[in-house]
Chain A
Amino acid sequence: EDQVTQSPEALRLQEGESSSLNCSYTVSGLRGLFWYRQDPGKGPEFLFTLYSAGEEKEKERLKATLTKKESFLHITAPKPEDSATYLCAVQAIGAGSYQLTFGKGTKLSVIP
């Protein structure tokens, strides 16, 4: 069974204080790993897809990386508007490969 574990559950940062969120995963064969951002009362908003170990993607202050066992979402010099819950999900190769298995998320709070 595919599993995704995110840590920490919650993270408070001062504005400008860089940090990383972790996503550890277990999957029989990885088709893709996805990062989403979710604001309260809203649906998840797509950020990145990573397909193979060593791959990196960047968008503004966010950078996602992937190894064979985990992914990191690095946040550089965060701003208060980066406050949200960040969700990690995996898609497996094979039967049921259209399903995403999500972690519980990391709730990020950036304090001015």
Chain B
Amino acid sequence: DTGVSQDPRHKITKRGQNVTFRCDPISEHNRLYWYRQTLGQGPEFLTYFQNEAQLEKSRLLSDRFSAERPKGSFSTLEIQRTEQGDSAMYLCASSQRHSPLHFGNGTRLTVT
């Protein structure tokens, strides 16, 4: 069990640019989640995958956000035309059914 891996750990981008983050879940976990956390707040749910199917998206996830999980393995989260308000820690988590979520250490995005 190597844990949930996220890449990159830090990303600095200019407003208007596109960014993509990657998440590698724990290998035997079929459920994958993306959360966003801003300073002083708890994580907020963004989206959920069961295997390769994206089953739920939060209304926080605007049209500029898209997530994929091809073949039910790793996942990517893309943000198009970034805005300063997108600056946050983006957390990925994985789980099996009836097991707690295990989080990665996140990707910290700074939009300048």
Chain A residues in the interface with B (C-beta under 8 A): 4, 34, 36, 41-46, 49, 87, 89, 96, 98-105
Contact = CB atoms under 8 A, between A and B. Distances in A.
Contact of B42 (A41, A42, A45, A103): A103
Given A42-B105, A44-B103, A46-B102, A100 B45 contact: yes
Contact of A44 (B40, B43, B55, B108): B43
Interface string B38-65: 0011111100101000011010000000
A98 B91 contact: no
A30 to B, nearest CB: 15
Chief secondary structure at chain B's binding surface:
strand
Interface of B: 4, 31, 33, 40-45, 48, 50, 55-56, 58, 91, 93, 100-106, 108
Nearest to B31: A98
Contacts of B104: 43
Contacts of A49: 100
A98 B43 contact: no
Contacts of B40: 104
In this complex, the member of B4, B55, B56, B58 whose beta carbon has the largest number of chain A beta carbons within 10 angstroms is: B56
A10 to B, nearest CB: 10
Given A98-B33, A98-B56, A104 B41 contact: yes
In this complex, the member of A42, A43, A87, A96 whose beta carbon has the largest number of chain B beta carbons within 10 angstroms is: A43
Contact of B105 (A41, A46, A98): A41
A45 B55 CA distance: 25
A107 to B, nearest CB: 9
Given A34-B100, A42-B105, A46-B101, A102 B56 contact: no
Nearest to B91: A43
